[in-house]
Structure 1
Amino acid sequence: MNDPNSLAIRAGVSERISLISPDRAARVADIGCGEGELLGRLVELGFGQLMGVGWKVDVPAGIAKLENVDLSHPGWADRFGGQKFDILVATEVLEHLINPYEFLTQLRRLAVPGGRLILTFPNVHNWRSIVGYALGGRFSGFFGPNWNNNHPLYDQHIFVPNHHLVRYFLRLAGFEILSIDFLYGRGKLFGTTAMFDCRAAAKT
């Protein structure tokens, strides 16, 4: 997708990955990669060890992919046969899941020790969501008009990613938050999208 918010997410995430791995040697998996736009950008930046993951995915030529992965199903990380990654990315996935905590625990299984996880999801703490909730009883972009129009579940924003709850789930799943940034708008009050950069904590 090439709407302004999607472009901002692609730019922000690819820039962060480049900072994490300046030598471009990191093994990167894009979980829920959709049409593979982020992977295409990473190819342009010189990354070579890439994988796209999802139910139906489209990736640039020469990139590994793993399809028919139901990210809402417990144990989906079993499909990887023990593979581990230096950087895991999940852009605009968390808000579509019934059990986001289970999703994060599966991501932790795929991360090398000290590996990174970059998550993006709608920023429900911005002024539009605050006003929407105050006036209409729902956060902007959640439970909207299409909710009862027979849209498939994966097309709905069903988990409201309150930052405090996401922090809690990440800690329980074994991730340490390194930074929180906001894309397509400045700061928490105006940013459209939240980007959490996390590190896989040492297992105890």
Structure 2
Amino acid sequence: MAHYDIFDPVPHRAHMRTLAYLRRGDRVLEVGCSSGALTEHIAAMGCRVTGIEVRPDAADQARRFAEDVLVGDLTTMPLALPLSNFDAILLIDVLEHLVDPVGALRRLFPFLREGGRFVVAIPNVAHWSVRFHLLAGRFAYEDSGILDRTHLRFYTRDTARAMLEQAGLEIDETDVVPDVPLLRLKPRFVGANYRIASLLPGLLSTEFFFVGTPRRTS
């Protein structure tokens, strides 16, 4: 998905879904924090936020709300972070932009404290809108959304889960970001939008959330 520069307050959408996984007082590492649209609301919950952002100009803006923002590419940058420090590590629409998402995810494992959790959101390439265009013989990159031109990888729910498990995450919870035609345009139908999308997640979800912890090794 595109960089988040504006907070989206719609229930069950990516920003509100992310906040629901956090608790007051959490130490949060937000990978891909952009200019801080979500960071501001995480900090307002009483969380202490550290960000990672590839764009220096966006990182400067995010520092208004974060304790610190590291600048660089997650796959190659030095990670000057305290070990076993974070209660939650967020990768919201990040992994699909990376050449090596498995390796990047594994780099973050040492910084999660015991009992902490990863919260990952990944766009759903099997969404009805993409299927419709494929049936018409079209696959056109866009400036934002599921076919964002900066996406290097595309996932369904099953392949996203398989990638996370390959990295070593044990998935404890999954959820949808609903997008039912017509219902999504009516605020009063937000609950129905979510319930129906949950019945047909592969078709009616723009992205999937995964919450998990690194698998214990004996």
TM-score range, shorter chain: 0.7 to 0.9
Offset, 1:6: 8.6
Letter of the 1:92 counterpart: D
Distance of aligned partners of 1:51 and 1:155 in 2 relative to their CA distance in 1, 3 Å threshold: farther
Q: CA-atom RMSD, angstroms?
A: 2.7
Distance of aligned partners of 1:172 and 1:113 in 2 relative to their CA distance in 1, 3 Å threshold: farther
Q: TM-score, normalised by structure 1?
A: 0.77
Q: Name the counterpart of 1:150.
A: none
CA distance in structure 2 between the partners assigned to 1:111 and 1:183 by the alignment: 25
Offset, 1:129: 2.0
Offset, 1:135: 3.1
Q: Report 1:25-40 matches (<5 A).
A: 25-40=25-40
Q: Name the counterpart of 2:168.
A: 174
Q: TM-score, normalised by structure 2?
A: 0.73
Contact 1:180 1:195 in 2 (8 A): yes
Q: Report 1:136-175 matches (<5 A).
A: 136=137, 138=139, 144=141, 156-175=150-169
Distance of aligned partners of 1:202 and 1:144 in 2 relative to their CA distance in 1, 3 Å threshold: same
3-state SS, counterpart of residue 198 of structure 1: strand
- Asked whether 1:14 is paired with 2:19, we answer yes
Could you tell me the percent identity over the aligned residues?
A: 22
3-state SS, counterpart of residue 130 of structure 1: helix
CA distance in structure 2 between the partners assigned to 1:70 and 1:164 by the alignment: 26
Q: Report 1:61-100 matches (<5 A).
A: 61=64, 63-73=66-76, 76=77, 78-82=79-83, 84-100=85-101
Contact 1:101 1:173 in 2 (8 A): yes
Offset, 1:195: 1.2
* Alpha-carbon displacement from aligned partner over 1:143-200 (angstroms, at most 9, x marks no partner): 6167xxxxxxx96111112332322222232211112211142331212221111122
